[in-house]
Amino acid sequence: MEKITPMLWFDNNAEEAMNFYTKVFKNSKVVSVARYPEGSPGPVDQVMVAEIEIEGQRFSLLNGGPIFKFTEAVSFVIHVGGQEEIDYYWNALTADGGEESMCGWLKDKFGVSWQVTPQKLIEYISNPDKEKAEKAMQAMLQMHKIDLSALEAAVRD
């Protein structure tokens, strides 16, 4: 058991989220599912808590009701390689009601915030050449989904 596991609070769609995330992330699995029993505060047989694993990181998903909502104050960074991987996660996570934001950030259809972050972006904005780093930063600030060719062009100019 991990020492710390993020717990994501859902209204009544934790099972849908469990299935969605384990479909989007290829290296993922359902670890366990506990359903509400008779006499509990939730609907009988609805997922109460599910534990999933994505890329070795465990997440607990709770059907806790409509009391709390997700905010951008907490997000999950997906470290990716090239544009194909950026496009895959961006398209998968914004599908069916997700929302694009700025600088590689998005919300999925459940309201969970993600950052699709290529290693090249980190390299460009942390370049010891301050002028190149600033050009990369200015280019990134104009983007929703990260466009590696536009970043590369900005750094070259």
**Model confidence pLDDT, tens digit, residues 43-87:** 999 999 999 999 999 999 999 999 999 999 999 999 999 999 999
- Angle formed by the axes of helices 130-141 and 148-156, to 10°? 140
Residue 76's beta-bridge partner residues?
Answer: 114
Model's pTM, two decimal places? 0.93
- Indicate if the pLDDT at residue 1 is higher than 90: no
Does 117 lie in the same domain as 82?
yes
CATH code: domain of residue 56: 3.30.720.100
User: Is the domain of 80 the same as that of 141?
Assistant: yes
Nearest alpha carbon to residue 71 among 94, 47, 118, 105: 105
Count up the domains in the chain and report the number. 2
Length in residues, the chain: 157
Last residue of a domain, one of 65, 81, 115: 65
Q: What is the pLDDT of residue 41?
A: 87
Task: Give, as one character, the DSSP assignment of residue 97.
Answer: T
